[in-house]
Amino acid sequence: MQSILDPIQQFFLLESGVRALVASVLVGGLCGLLGSFIVLRNMSLIGDALSHAILPGIVVAFVFFGYSTSAFFGGSVLAGIIAALLITWLQRSIRIKNDAAIGIIFTFMFSIGVIGISWLSHHDGVHLDLKDFLFGNILAVQNEDVWMTLGMCVIVCGAILIFYRAMFTTTFQADLASTLGYHQDMIHYLIMLLLSLSVVASLRSVGVILVVAMLITPASAALLISDRLPRVLATSSILGMIAALTGLLLSISLDTPPGPSMAVVTTLIYLLVMLFAPQRGLIIRWRVRKQQQMRVVVEDILKQLYRIENNQPIPYQKLEDTMVHDRKLLTKWIRKMAQLKLIKFESGEIQLTESGKQKANHLVRAHRLWETFLVEELGLKPDQIHEEAERFEHHLSEEEINEVDRNLGYPKTDPHGSPIPRRWLHKNNSRC
């Protein structure tokens, strides 16, 4: 364990290590924050496009100003804005699909940038490290880069705070936004500008290839955790910072490039959230499905008992002969129902309890009323309605059943001639 921690301790004793740490956290939070709007507005591919399209801006900045962080920043932002405008123009004026416009522009501008770098290398004898541009080199971050990244964070956070209502409304209620006077095109271009700034701020950390991971993955994970935008923004930003910091520490320990390590960590975080999210996680959804399946089986058994017991205990064998479930599974469910006090199971005999009778009464009533509704209101034939009623009986509430009963005029029998139970009121099974 100590051998793993030693490189980390030594790294953060260096001034460059502290700068890398600060830059990583800032980039993770920035990308996570803005990425929420990018994902919600279906602009994920645009983030990838802008990260590639800024390369010509860097080349032009180098030609005129040489090695200058400020010049690289300005050229990158300008190239990003031009790319965003061209993508939007192609999409709206030429009427081509959004993904096609993105593919055309970003491949063109990225190729121009690569050609420019190659030309400079051959004619001016200079060398621009394309690998660092593509995959990042956070270890080369300077104080100027840290301050510039911090400035980008302030600008993006300030813009979101000022234009939050407009960004929220145009994202979720486009028609309402126009009614309220929000200019959708202006908000769109504002988000494009903020996205360009975020991409440029992330270059040193993760590079253009992997910046999309920092923009998209934390936001996607946050949307699995919450559906309230303020919580999504906060969660996405926190997850981005955790991923960036963890990825940096992992790269130091394993002596791997920081950018790919951060991208891997973001994906691992997403997978964990996908499994364990409190509402939308796969494990929770699996448990809910299992509970629903259990409820359906229990209700089917209750309904069958209601039909055959006639207020008298019945032998377990009689129930078994009328059910299609496996014998071992049926025994398991019967014991479960006894624990839930829906039935009494003693000496090999089964009898519904008061609560069991009430629930079974509701199911049978729901089934037969729904069959009646399908025939009388929808015109289906009696031989077409059983399976449909079997599905709906487990999901209709008491209020919904009462409303169907009232609309049908309180029928006495279903289309098959079976009596429709009345509402269950108390122990003597009186009817309303």
**Residues of each domain in the chain carrying CATH 1.10.10:** 284-352
Would you say 266 and 35 are in contact if contact means Cβ atoms under 8 Å apart? no
Banded pLDDT at 432 (limits 50, 70, 90): very low
Closest CA to 401 of 344, 363, 355, 345: 363
Residue 251 backbone dihedrals phi, psi, to 5 degrees: -65, -35
Q: What percent of the chain has pLDDT over 70?
A: 87
Would you say 196 and 81 are in contact if contact means Cβ atoms under 8 Å apart? yes
In whole angstroms, give the CA distance from residue 111 to residue 46.
17
CATH architecture of 284-352: Orthogonal Bundle (1.10)
Banded pLDDT at 4 (limits 50, 70, 90): low
**Residues of each domain in the chain carrying CATH 1.10.3470.10:** 16-278
Burial of 171 (0-12, 13-18, 19+ CB in 10 A): middle
pLDDT (tens digit, 9 = 90+) per residue, 366-400?
888 888 888 888 888 887 788 888 888 888 888 88
Whether the per-residue pLDDT at 124 is higher than 80: the answer is no
Banded pLDDT at 125 (limits 50, 70, 90): low
Instruction: Kindly state the average pLDDT of the residues 127-133.
Output: 61
In whole angstroms, give the CA distance from residue 355 to residue 347.
21
Residue that is written with structure tokens 């950390």 in the block? 205
Q: What is the pLDDT of residue 5?
A: 56
Class of domain 16-278: mainly alpha
In whole angstroms, give the CA distance from residue 15 to residue 157.
27
Beta bridge partners of 315: 349
Coil vs helix vs strand at 68: coil
pTM given for the model: 0.74
Would you say 16 and 139 are in contact if contact means Cβ atoms under 8 Å apart? yes
